Amino acid sequence: MHPAIETLMTEHRLIGQVLGSLETFALSLQHGAGADRETVKDYAAFFKNFADTCHHGKEEDQLFPTMTQFGFPREFGPIAVMLSDHVEGRLHVRALAEIGEGQGALSPADRATVISHALAYMPLLRAHILKEDNILYPMAAQAIPDDRMNALSDGFEAFERDVMGAGQHAAFHALAERLVDEYPPDPASMSAGAACAGCAGHM
């Protein structure tokens, strides 16, 4: 696979780990465990800034426009499905961010909101990642010539520098590691998510 696609797939692996951690956190809340509002804020910050701005930003700003130049429509088909997933995911992350920005201990209503949005966001993004890894990215790699793929790699580096800013990628890796250490993903759940039947369909 071309380095540009490998970059996106590597980001998927980190996002998947934090999704597993979010699931652990949400299930702990569901079972009555205590929780710090700051933790909700940290999950929202990771998914807003790394999963959406950094990762989805590369797709929406560079990969998808390049794909449209090589025969992939934006209004329907795989790109339209991915964009729809991005929009739906942002609604869940925004809800988590609003709870994270609140004051004081989490209320019962806050806890219910976190649980609801976290447990809806997790399968959405896992299925999204499978569709991209198994369908969209291979299609892109086959259709886009090597010189344009090389340009995408350069564009991704520029995006990290000019949009994200120096050191931000490493900072969100560190945040991810901290969240995963604090709320480790369930290996059984991670395996089930990676193999979920039908997740790669409906493109």
Please answer whether residues 8 and 63 qualify as being in contact, where contact means their C-beta atoms are separated by less than 8 angstroms.
yes
Q: Read off the pTM.
A: 0.91
What would the pLDDT profile of 150-177 be if each residue is shown by its tens digit?
999 999 999 999 988 888 888 999 999 9
The confidence score (pLDDT) of residue 164 equals: 87
User: With the C-alpha atoms ordered 138, 139, 140, 142, is the resulting torsion angle positive or negative?
Assistant: positive
Dist. CA 11–CA 14, nearest whole Å? 5
Whole-Å CA distances, 143 to 5, 66, 137, 173, 201: 13, 10, 10, 31, 20
The confidence score (pLDDT) of residue 70 equals: 96
Please state which CATH class domain 3-194 belongs to: mainly alpha
| pLDDT for 133 beyond 70 | yes
What would the pLDDT profile of 106-118 be if each residue is shown by its tens digit?
999 999 999 999 9
Region 95-114 average pLDDT: 95
Q: Higher-confidence residue: 196 or 159?
A: 159
What would the pLDDT profile of 66-82 be if each residue is shown by its tens digit?
999 999 999 999 999 99
Sorted by where each begins, the domain ranges of the chain are: 3-194
